Amino acid sequence: MNSRKKEVERLATSELARSNIARPFIRFDMLRPSGKTVLEFENVNKSYAQPDGKTEHVINNFSAAVQRGDKVVLIGRNGQGKTTLLKALLANGPGVEEKDVSIDSGVVKWGHEAQIGYFAQDHKGSIQLGMTASDWLHQFDPQATKEDIRGILGQMLFRGEEGLKKTDALSGGEAARLLFCKIMLQKPNVLVLDEPTNHLDLESINALNQAIQKYEGTVFLVTHDQDLIEEAGTRIWHFEGGPEDFHITDHKGPYEEYQQQLALAAK
Ligand SMILES: Nc1ncnc2c1ncn2[C@@H]1O[C@H](COP(=O)(O)OP(=O)(O)O)[C@@H](O)[C@H]1O
Ligand SMILES: [Mg+2]
């Protein structure tokens, strides 16, 4: 079944069909496209020192090149290093403020004019406290008018005075929606989204799925949401195996094709 059909079916069966439930409107535009090669990295290694003095190797000599328009979905069990890899790649990413990881060795090269919009898994720390949601958002585009800001907040269902809520008081879901507002305002040409659906309801996940499919830039997405994996991804990085045989499989095609290949190989 193609994604469009699935989408229509899902809508028909959802609450939305029966009621006028508010739906967020997510759309990612780009200010300008990046160069053709968005990211190249070679032999990236990252380990953490454990409290007992041992070293835990998380990323071992992983290399890849990512082209403009690739929508890479990172899949695999929790604790396998998806977040660590993204942070490692972002450690010298243009325009990324959250830089809490460095790499042990390897080379990471971001391409010409790459601009990154980052949604961290632990995203609460990305939002500065002690100001209103609206003021926090506005600093990322001082040229925007108050109406522009209000409009984007409205798209993500901050109604009326809700944009005046203090950032300290935001729920997990509100913080997630506000971060999407920031990304929509910044109009980056690369999206790095680390488990963005954890605090979203079904309608929002659906809106995000559509927005990623329509986006013309490059995407790195960590998710366990099966529809997103199947419908939004054009390339799969599968984190798999145990301590002895851990590796990342880079399948340069969508999930369904990856599954078919695995089935064939098992025959
Ligand atoms: N800051 C850190 N210090 C020490 N160990 C860490 C740190 N962050 C992650 N780890 C460890 O690295 C491994 C991979 O974690 P993570 O990248 O968060 O996995 P995933 O995102 O796939 O769930 C886990 O064993 C985790 O405990
Ligand atoms: Mg993670």
Q: Using the mean position of ligand 1's atoms as its centre, give its distance from the Cα of residue 108 in Å.
A: 20
The range of the structural domain enclosing residue 43 comes to 3-266
Query: Does the CB atom of residue 140 touch ligand 1 within 6 A?
Result: no
Q: pTM, whole model, 2 decimals?
A: 0.91
Q: What average pLDDT score do residues 80-96 get?
A: 90
pLDDT reading at 171 higher than 70: yes
Helix/strand/coil (H/E/C) assignment for every residue in the chain: CCHHHHHHHHHHHCHHHHCCCCCCCCCCCCCCCCCCEEEEEEEEEEEEECCCCCEEEEEEEEEEEEECCCEEEEECCCCCCHHHHHHHHHCCCCCCCCCCCCCCEEEEEECCCCCEEEECCCHHHHCCCCCEHHHHHHCCCCCCCHHHHHHHHHHCCCCHHHHHCEHHHCCHHHHHHHHHHHHHHHCCCEEEEECCCCCCCHHHHHHHHHHHHHCCCEEEEECCCHHHHHHHCCEEEEEECCCCCCEEEEECCCHHHHHHHHHHHHC
Quick one: pLDDT band at residue 1, thresholds 50, 70, 90?
low
Instruction: Tell me the per-residue pLDDT of 18-65, one tens digit each, with 9 for 90 and over.
Output: 455 678 999 999 999 999 999 999 999 999 998 998 988 899 999 999
Instruction: Tell me the per-residue pLDDT of 61-84, one tens digit each, with 9 for 90 and over.
Output: 999 999 999 999 999 999 999 999
pLDDT score of 33: 97
What share of the chain has pLDDT > 70, as a percent?
91
- What CATH code is carried by the domain that includes residue 172? 3.40.50.300
Quick one: pLDDT band at residue 91, thresholds 50, 70, 90?
confident
Instruction: Tell me the per-residue pLDDT of 185-242, one tens digit each, with 9 for 90 and over.
Output: 999 999 999 999 999 999 999 999 999 999 999 999 999 999 999 999 999 999 998 8
pLDDT reading at 12 higher than 90: no
| ∠ Cα 184 122 31 (to 5°) | 20
Query: Does the CB atom of residue 58 touch ligand 1 within 6 A?
Result: yes
Quick one: pLDDT band at residue 121, thresholds 50, 70, 90?
very high
pLDDT score of 3: 60
Q: What average pLDDT score do residues 106-131 get?
A: 93
Query: Does the CB atom of residue 82 touch ligand 1 within 6 A?
Result: yes
Residue type, 52: D
pLDDT score of 21: 67
pLDDT score of 5: 58
How many domains are contained in the chain?
A: 1
Instruction: Tell me the per-residue pLDDT of 231-254, one tens digit each, with 9 for 90 and over.
Output: 999 999 999 988 788 999 999 999
- Choice from 52, 77, 82, 84 to test ligand 1 binding pocket (greatest atom count within 8 A of CB): 84
User: Closest ligand to 246 CA?
Assistant: 1
Give the residue, 11 or 255, on which the prediction is more confident. Answer: 255
